[in-house]
Amino acid sequence: MLNLHTDHRSLVTISLLGFLILSLGVAVLPAYQSQNNTEPLPQMEPMSEAEIRGLRIFIREGCVACHTQQVRNIEMDQTWGSRPSIPSDYYYSKQRMGFWQQSPSVLGSERTGPDLTNAGMRQPSIDWHLLHLYNPRIVVPESIMPSYPWLFEDKINPAKEEKTLTIPAEFKEQGVEIVPRRAALDLVAYLQSLKQAPLASQQPEFIQSTHKKLEASQNSVNQDLPSLPDGKNLYLATCSACHQADGSGVPGAFPALAGSAVINNQDPQMLIRIVLQGYDARPDFAQMPGFADQLSDEEIAAIINYERSSWDNNAPAVTVYDVKNIRESIMNQTP
């Protein structure tokens, strides 16, 4: 009969066997089954080389400590994605970093900062991400995120092909241009790649798009038009990160919408085109991406009407048909 109080060899042997059995049952076999039974969703694209480098920078810089990438099946997580996360979402992010080393999990364990599962969809602007990395307080004054200035370099005469940041004067030295290093561009490429792919099956109520959920609300300035989504909520979810919730913008980075001549123009054609196609004609401000692929005609009309009736702006409402006609005009001009 074994006496584990005195037979230390048997005690160590049994402990080792117990450890191995538990490791196989709890870690190795589930991981093996998950690896062999997980495939990417049909609309997921493989990560580019720049995105893979950005993932490694994301891990290297400790971003995983404060940002999660997991949408749980609870109401409070509806802000971060259109559906709960599934194993397929991480198919391409599990990149091997060496023969014995695989990339750490990017699911995270806390949300000191916002969840990034759908960051590429929520914030498609490259310039916004670069400004946020250089100094988060430029675009989010209350942010507690640290700055990453070592991902950028100061240059007096950057080359024409080099990208420079449009930064408010108080955040940089006079006569100096801020140029993102390749590491910064790769990290932004990775952040922009974070988009939830739609499921092929019919979605349950929880995982409907946030924009679709808003369609039940009617915009107050369009009582005589077909029911539109809530323009304020759409603006806060889509535009306020750059233009701010009060429409004040960020001087030297993103233009103010309050009192804007473009917003208040009686003819909304230019404004609708800017929202659909984006805008990069003013060197004193960062480039704005287009939202034609992300927002429906109803959503764009609702956002524009909110902007044209808020912050002392006073311009006629636009209709869904105005947006639809200009979208069709743009499509017909595309070769």
Report yes or no on 41 lying in a domain. no
- Position with higher pLDDT, 158 vs 200: 158
Least confident among 54-63, 93-102, 138-147, 191-200: 93-102
**One domain, residues 151 and 268:** no
Report yes or no on 64 lying in a domain. yes
The reported pLDDT for the residue numbered 98 is 67
**One domain, residues 68 and 158:** yes
Report yes or no on 39 lying in a domain. no
Q: Are 239 and 279 in contact (CB under 8 A)?
A: no
Report yes or no on 134 lying in a domain. yes
Using CA atoms, how far residue 286 sits from 13, 182, 279, in Å, is 65, 19, 9
Q: What is the pLDDT of residues 8-32, one digit of tens each?
A: 888 899 999 999 999 998 887 876 7
**One domain, residues 186 and 272:** no
Give the pair of three-digit tokens for residue 97: 């970093």
**Closest alpha carbon to 59 in 104, 20, 25:** 104
Domain termination residue (choose one: 192, 226, 254): 192
Residues forming a β-bridge with 177: 155
Rounded CA separation 97/52 (Å): 10
Which of helix, strand or coil describes residue 154?
strand
Q: How many CB atoms lie within 10 A of CB 255?
A: 21
Give residue 318's domain range.
Answer: 208-333
**One domain, residues 169 and 297:** no
Q: How many CB atoms lie within 10 A of CB 202?
A: 5
**One domain, residues 55 and 188:** yes
- Residues comprising the chain, all counted: 335
Domain termination residue (choose one: 192, 225, 251): 192
Domain termination residue (choose one: 162, 192, 222): 192
**One domain, residues 65 and 183:** yes
Number of domains in the chain: 2
Least confident among 139-153, 181-195, 321-335: 321-335
- Position with higher pLDDT, 209 vs 270: 270
**One domain, residues 89 and 160:** yes
CA–chain centroid gap for 272, Å, is 23
Report yes or no on 277 lying in a domain. yes
**One domain, residues 59 and 110:** yes
The reported pLDDT for the residue numbered 203 is 39
CATH for 273: 1.10.760.10
Report yes or no on 203 lying in a domain. no
Report yes or no on 34 lying in a domain. no
Q: Read off the pTM.
A: 0.68
67 pLDDT above the threshold of 90: yes
Q: What is the pLDDT of residues 260-271, one digit of tens each?
A: 888 999 998 899
What value does the mean pLDDT of the chain take? 82
Rounded CA separation 44/95 (Å): 15
**One domain, residues 218 and 257:** yes
**One domain, residues 166 and 270:** no
The reported pLDDT for the residue numbered 42 is 74
Q: How many CB atoms lie within 10 A of CB 335?
A: 2
**One domain, residues 237 and 170:** no
**One domain, residues 61 and 170:** yes
DSSP string of 36-66, one letter each residue: HS----TT--PPPHHHHHHHHHHHHTTGGGT
Report yes or no on 157 lying in a domain. yes
